[in-house]
Amino acid sequence: MKTRQLYNRIAVLRNERGISRKELATAIGVNYQTVGYLERGEYNPSLDLAFKISEFFGLPIEIIFSTQPMKPLSEELYERRRGIS
């Protein structure tokens, strides 16, 4: 079965928190190369792995993964602020 391309913010979240791929990989129980494949969108994680990543960053799963290309976080934050005010 051909699956859809999933987009994610793993790289930006990992960089923001100063975590190496090896550290993230150890925390979620995968090979460090798998983190690279996930970040580049070359591998779609299972639901279990997606939840592990979501729990690691302490963010809802839909903030990290999407079926649509993701906007930069700064742009999304700006739009949300404009929406609130």
Partner 1 sequence: MTREQTQSRWRMTVLSNYLAVLLGVILPLLAKATGSPWGWIVVFVVLVVTISITFRKAFKSTGLWTLTHAKPSTLDERELEQTHAALGVSYRWMLVVMIATMYLLILARQGSLGQWLGWVDSIASVLAMAFLYVAHTLPAAIIGWNQLPPANDATNDAAVAR
Residue type, 76: E
Size of residue set near partner 1 by CB under 8 A:
33
Instruction: Candidates 5, 27, 51, 70: give the one binding partner 1 (CB under 8 A).
Output: 70
Part of the chain binding partner 1 (CB under 8 A), chosen from 13-21, 53-61, 77-85: 13-21
What end-to-end distance do the CA atoms of the chain give, in Å?
Answer: 45
Question: Sign of torsion, CA 85 82 62 37?
Answer: negative
Minimum CB distance to partner 1, residue 62 (Å)? 14
**Using an 8 Å Cβ cutoff, are 44 and 54 in contact?**
no
**Using an 8 Å Cβ cutoff, are 44 and 6 in contact?**
yes
27 binds partner 1 (CB under 8 A): no
Instruction: Candidates 46, 67, 68, 85: give the one binding partner 1 (CB under 8 A).
Output: 46
Part of the chain binding partner 1 (CB under 8 A), chosen from 21-29, 54-62, 77-85: 21-29
